[in-house]
């Protein structure tokens, strides 16, 4: 077993070797610009992008023309939310539209909503229950005549809870409101099909599913649903005018290959990883009966374990366990030393939130690694440096 052990797959996943193999020729041999229409190098790049677009689309049950490539999920979220607001103003004449989202969303959504609020948009932030699930009935009641869109994360990046997307979709469609979902943690990990669960816009990323960083996608429904939408990046009209800029061909090829692998393997992978996750949790629970497991016990990602260690300092545990890669929460907010908004939203006190670790298993996690991590966590949780006395003094 190689150290350190990687248990932070919610932050990013390692590149699958099969994905790297597919990408390599587009760094060295087929390096053309996909927008170069006059020669073989450009044609090959464009053809490779077309293949990848189809692979990504098939993973979520979409049509290829409904996929817009971006630099990642954060850009996709910004494009979706800002694009809808500007579209509503420009094409529907709504100067002060209303949007609804959820308290446990990723900062890509929450911070974008704050920016939109400064521009006159009214945003409603819905609470969640103790497992992290939003109440679809409450969401329906929050919709007003001015509501243009709802944005709900499909699967939470900290506690792994899966939202009741079918119910939410039905409510939004019945009320004529657009539905966006940040499905970054869901795509390639659980069944996500935009025909079975109709959403209008969906953001996701390659590097959460064993693809490369720097490639993401926005699904934009085109089956007759009218979506007032305005591009946010101008300069050449790439991606059907919705997202200008030279395409990252190697990363897009890798995204497509990662999607193709997930399409073939994720059911088996989800079962294997859930067994390992249960082994990790049961081992820790048996040795440390006072720990708290966060999120839904039923509707959750197979690879996620969010565990609170009362009386311990999570940051001190991480420093002590340098041979294990885990986190205290979202990597995207790690630069801001504050209590997790997700853990606060499900009712954890500041003290308990600061005692919580997130374990993210993945495709390459082994049973040997699970046993090792469980043993190290159990040893570390009892170390004097992270016990209640020192914790309370911080």
Domains of the chain listed by start with CATH number: 5-12+266-393 (3.90.1150.10), 17-260 (3.40.640.10)
Q: Whole-number mean pLDDT of the chain?
A: 93
Tokens of 305: 């374990």
The average pLDDT across 340-367 equals 97
**Rounded average pLDDT over 347-354:** 96
pLDDT of residue 223: 80
Structure tokens at 291: 């720990």
Please give the model's pTM, rounded to 2 decimal places. 0.94
Diameter of the chain measured on Cα atoms: 70
Torsion of CA 173, 74, 266, 179, to 10 degrees: 0
Q: What is the pLDDT of residues 270-293, one digit of tens each?
A: 999 999 999 999 999 999 999 999
Region 98-103 average pLDDT = 98
Residue-level pLDDT at 338: 79
pLDDT band at 393 (very low <50, low <70, confident <90, very high): very low
* 275 Cβ contact list (under 8 Å, min separation 6): none
Q: What is the reported pLDDT for 95?
A: 78
Token code pair at residue 134: 């939003």
Q: Which residues are catalytic?
A: 332
Q: Structure tokens of 106?
A: 């990723």
Radius of gyration of the chain (CA): 22
Given a cut of 50, is residue 31 above it in pLDDT? Answer: yes
pLDDT in tens, 160-178: 999 999 999 999 999 999 9
Q: Is the predicted pLDDT of residue 334 greater than 60, yes or no?
A: no
> Residue 329's pLDDT is what?
72
Tell me the per-residue pLDDT of 294-317, one tens digit each, with 9 for 90 and over. 999 999 999 999 999 999 999 999
**Comparing 6-15, 144-153, 243-252, 325-334, which segment has the lowest mean pLDDT?**
325-334
The pLDDT score that the predictor gives to residue 150 is: 98
Q: What is the pLDDT of residue 391?
A: 47
CA 365 to chain centre: 20
What share of the chain has pLDDT > 90, as a percent?
A: 86
Task: Give the residues across from 293 on adjacent strands.
Answer: 307
């Amino acid at each position: 077993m190689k150290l350190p052990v990687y248990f932070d797959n919610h932050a990013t996943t390692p590149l699958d070797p099969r994905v790297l193999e597919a990408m390599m020729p587009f760094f060295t041999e087929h390096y053309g610009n996909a927008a170069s229409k006059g020669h073989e190098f450009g044609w090959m790049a464009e053809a490779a992008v077309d293949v990848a677009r189809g692979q990504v689309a098939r993973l979520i049950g979409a049509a290829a023309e409904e996929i817009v490539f971006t630099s990642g999920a954060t850009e996709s979220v910004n494009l979706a939310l800002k694009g809808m607001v500007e579209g509503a103003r420009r094409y529907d004449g709504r100067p002060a539209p209303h949007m609804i989202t959820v308290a446990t969303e990723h900062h890509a959504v929450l911070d974008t909503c704050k920016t939109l609020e400064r521009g006159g948009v009214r945003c409603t932030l819905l609470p969640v229950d103790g497992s992290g699930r939003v109440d679809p009935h409450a969401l329906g009641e929050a919709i007003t005549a001015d509501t243009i869109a709802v944005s709900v994360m499909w699967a939470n990046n900290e506690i792994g809870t899966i939202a009741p997307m079918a119910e939410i979709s039905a409510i939004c469609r019945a009320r004529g409101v657009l539905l966006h979902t940040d499905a970054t943690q869901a795509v390639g990990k659980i069944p996500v099909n935009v025909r079975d669960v109709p959403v209008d816009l969906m953001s996701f990323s390659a590097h959460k599913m064993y693809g490369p960083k720097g490639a993401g996608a926005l699904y934009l429904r085109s089956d007759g649903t009218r979506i007032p939408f305005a591009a946010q990046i101008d300069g050449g009209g790439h991606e059907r005018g919705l997202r200008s800029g030279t395409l990252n061909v190697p990363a897009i090829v890798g995204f497509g290959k990662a999607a193709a692998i997930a399409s073939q393997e994720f059911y088996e992978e989800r079962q294997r990883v859930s067994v390992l996750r249960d082994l990790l949790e049961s081992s820790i629970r048996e040795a440390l009966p006072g720990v708290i497991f966060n999120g839904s016990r039923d509707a959750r990602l197979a690879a996620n374990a969010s565990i609170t260690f009362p009386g311990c300092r999570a940051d001190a545990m991480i420093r002590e366990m340098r041979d294990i890669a885990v986190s205290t929460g979202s990597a995207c907010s790690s630069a801001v030393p504050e209590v997790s908004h997700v853990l606060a939203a499900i009712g954890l006190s500041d003290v308990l939130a600061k005692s919580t670790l997130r374990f993210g298993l993945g495709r390459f996690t082994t049973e040997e690694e699970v046993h090792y991590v469980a043993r190290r966590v159990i040893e570390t949780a009892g170390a004097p440096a992270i016990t209640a006395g020192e914790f309370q003094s911080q």
